[in-house]
Amino acid sequence: MKRDLHIVDVTLRDGSHAVRHSFTEQQVRDVAKGLDQAGIEYFEVSHGDGLGGSSLQYGFSAVNELKLIEAASDVCSQAKAAVLLVPGIGTKDDLEDAVKAGAKMVRVATHVTEADVAKQHIELGRNLGLKTVGFLMMAHMAPPEKIVEQAKLFESYGAEIVYVTDSAGALLPHEVTERVSALKENLSCEIGFHAHNNLSLATANTMAAVEAGATYIDGSLRCLGAGSGNAQTEVLTAVFDRLGYKTGVDLYPIMDVANDVVAKLMPRPQEVTKASLIMGYSGVYSSFLLFAQEAAKKFNVDERDILVELGKMQAVGGQEDLITEVARELANQQLTV
């Protein structure tokens, strides 16, 4: 089927943050089967922080991610499993193991100014026959010209798609337009966009990205993801159908898997809370949310103050250890007042 847009579902990867990496094999099978029947082409499944993410730093997975990739792949007749790989967290060996388990796409993710660390992983992805993607995270932290520079590196390494990734849910629609348009004008490969909903703009930002030339867009069923979650897969399906785009996704079946399967495994409704709103406002990495809430309780400080300080520090993914340090310092300041 010819698709004007490719909706990549991230429920089983970004959603892992929201459930503290507790997905079971049966839950993964149920979600993957529903995505397959609805017509989703690619869907991510791995630890929330990508291959190799199960650790003390990021949180341990309840089930080995290779088993989850295999479980998802086993129930799909046309949908393909994708994995996220963050160099420094995941390794080339991890990627090779993921391919053996059934992965067909790799999305190699770096901070928006550090694309050069991904060369060997992008090249390996292509050599393994994977659909290979470059993922520029925390895209609000760099101007369009810098993003173009980094995206060109991804493209030169062999990336077939380069993503503008709003990891903090901090971008406004005009800022999305500027970044995606710049890539469209300067790259030959396809452009993607990944939204977070911390400012309640995930769908609007995704629409802006498509209007600017993005052809790959990410969504999560019921918004399940880090922070306030992602653009909602079933909503994106409806919106772009209304706009006349072919996505290959059937609306009723994608609504059914969202409401009959994913809703039942969610620990809480995915909504914009005071903490996730501050994340978008301050430009803080979305997966910091639960860590900040835990630190706030431990040190009896306001979680919003922790997140604001992290935003001032321009903390990025991989610096979760700063959360405890910031909370402890805020508690010490309260004692001295």
Determine whether the annotation assigns residue 181 to a binding site: no
Return the ∠ at Cα 169 (arms to 166 and 173), rounded to 5°. Answer: 80
Determine whether the annotation assigns residue 13 to a binding site: yes
216-219 and 42-45 beta bridge pairing = unpaired
- Reduced to 3 states (helix: H, G, I; strand: E, B; else coil), residue 126 is helix
Nearest to 21 by CA among 324, 237, 315, 225: 225
CA 107 – CA 11 distance, rounded (Å): 15
CA 35 – CA 75 distance, rounded (Å): 10
**Which run of H or of E encompasses 131?**
strand 131-137
Determine whether the annotation assigns residue 167 to a binding site: yes
Nearest to 153 by CA among 197, 192, 108, 196: 108
The answer to whether 178 and 144 are in contact (CB under 8 A) is: yes
Name the β-bridge partners of 105: 82, 131
Determine whether the annotation assigns residue 286 to a binding site: no
Determine whether the annotation assigns residue 47 to a binding site: no
Question: What is the residue type of 8?
Answer: V
DSSP states of 183-235: HHHH-SSEEEEE-B-TTS-HHHHHHHHHHHT--EEEEBGGG-SSTT-B-BHHH
Determine whether the annotation assigns residue 14 to a binding site: yes
Q: Which of 6, 17, 47, 140 is catalytic?
A: 17
CA 116 – CA 122 distance, rounded (Å): 10
Does residue 17 have an active-site annotation?
yes
Taking the C-alpha atoms of 319, 86, 68 and 58 in order, what is their torsion angle to the nearest 10 degrees?
-10
Catalytic residues: 17
| Residues of the binding site for Mn(2+) | 14, 194, 196
| Residues of the binding site for substrate | 13-14, 167, 194, 285
| Residues of the binding site | 13-14, 167, 194, 196, 285
